[in-house]
Amino acid sequence: MAHDHHHHHHDKQENIKIAFLLNISFAILEIIGGLLTNSMAILSDALHDLGDSISLGGAWYLERYADKGPDSKFSFGYARFSLLAALINSLILVTGSILILIRAIPRLFNPEVIDPKGMLVFAIIGIFINGLAVLRLKGGSSFNEKIVSWHLLEDVLGWLVILIASVVLMFVDLWILDPILSILLTIYVVINVMKNLREIVVILLQGVPSNIDINQIETMIKEKTDVECVYHTHVWSLEGEKILLSTHLVVNDNISRDQIIKIKNDVKELMLKKGIEHVTVQIDFDKEDKENFDCCNK
C-alpha cells in the first residue's frame, strides 16, 4: 500500500515536471519566434506562457515537497503543500484571465489587424505541445494536477482560437472574431477554475468533504457497533484525497477491554468502506459527565 502511494505520488511529480518542461520550452520558442517575426501578439502570449511556466515550476516543487512524511513541525505531513500549489496556480490563472479580458474587450470596439499565416504556424505548434502536456495530466486526482491541467488546457484552447481565427482571416477580414472567441474561452476557463478554487478553500477551512455525511456516519456506527452513542465527530481532508476522521464513542461502564478493541476495529473497517483511512477514536464511559455527550439521552 505504501509502495503504491509512493508510486502514485511519483507519477504526479513526473506529470507536472513534463508539463513544466514542455511549457517552458514552448515559451522560449515563442520569444524567439516573436522577435524574429516582430509580432507583439506572439510576444504577449510568450509572456503569458512564461508566467504559466513559473507557476508550473512552483507546482512541481511543492508537489515534491508534499511527499515528505510527518515530523515535529507538520504532524500530519506535508500533503497540503500540494494544495497550496493548487491555490497559488488558481489565483495566477484567474489573474491571467482577467488580464486577457482587459486586453480583449477593447478589441471588440477597435479590432486590430493580425498576421494570419504567422499565427497559424504557431497555433499548430502550440496545440501540439500543450496538448501533449494536457494528455499527460489527464485524469490526475490531486487538485494540483487538476489546476495545472487547466493552465495547459487554457493554452490549448487559446491556440485553438488563434488557429480557427487565422484560417478564417485568411479569407475574410473579420478581425473582431479573435477577441470574441478569446473572451468566450477565457470565461469558460475561469468558471471551471472557480469551481476548483471553491473546493480548495473548503478543504483549507477544514470543511467536511462533499461525499461525506456526518449524521449518516454517526448513525451507522451506532447501529453496527456496540456503542451507546456517537458525538463530536469531525471529518476533514488534508489535500482533497486523504480523508481523516475523529469521533467520541460512549460505551457501557461494564464493557471489557476486548470489546473496546473490537469496537475500534469495527469503526475503522466501516470508515475504510467510506474511503476514510485515518481514524481517531476516543472512548468515553457512561458514568462520565453526561453534559458532554447528551446524545445518549436522545
Average pLDDT, the chain: 79
**Pick the residue with more confidence: 29 or 49?**
29
Question: What pLDDT is stored for residue 44 in this prediction?
Answer: 64
- 236 φ/ψ angles, rounded to the nearest 5 degrees: -150, 175
Whether residues 92 and 235 share a domain: the answer is no
Residue 287: inside a domain = yes
**Pick the residue with more confidence: 284 or 55?**
284
Q: How confident is the model at residue 289 (pLDDT cuts 50, 70, 90)?
A: low
Look at residues 156, 178, 204 and tell me which one is the last residue of a structural domain: 204
Whether residues 167 and 271 share a domain: the answer is no
Whether residues 241 and 184 share a domain: the answer is no
Look at residues 147, 179, 204 and tell me which one is the last residue of a structural domain: 204
Question: What pLDDT is stored for residue 3 in this prediction?
Answer: 47
Q: What is the pTM of this model?
A: 0.69
Question: What pLDDT is stored for residue 123 in this prediction?
Answer: 81
Residue 221, domain CATH? 3.30.70.1350
* pLDDT of 257 above 80: yes
Look at residues 150, 176, 204 and tell me which one is the last residue of a structural domain: 204
Residue 293: inside a domain = yes
Whether residues 74 and 169 share a domain: the answer is yes
Residue 82, domain CATH? 1.20.1510.10
Q: Residue for cell digits 469496537? A: 263
Whether residues 129 and 159 share a domain: the answer is yes
Whether residues 83 and 193 share a domain: the answer is yes
Whether residues 153 and 186 share a domain: the answer is yes
Residues of the chain with pLDDT > 90, as a percent, come to 20
Q: Whole domain around residue 147: which residue ranges?
A: 2-204
Mean pLDDT score, 170-189: 79
Q: What is the tally of structural domains in the chain?
A: 2
* pLDDT of 2 above 50: no
**Pick the residue with more confidence: 3 or 109?**
109
Whether residues 128 and 261 share a domain: the answer is no
Residue 134: inside a domain = yes
Whether residues 123 and 240 share a domain: the answer is no
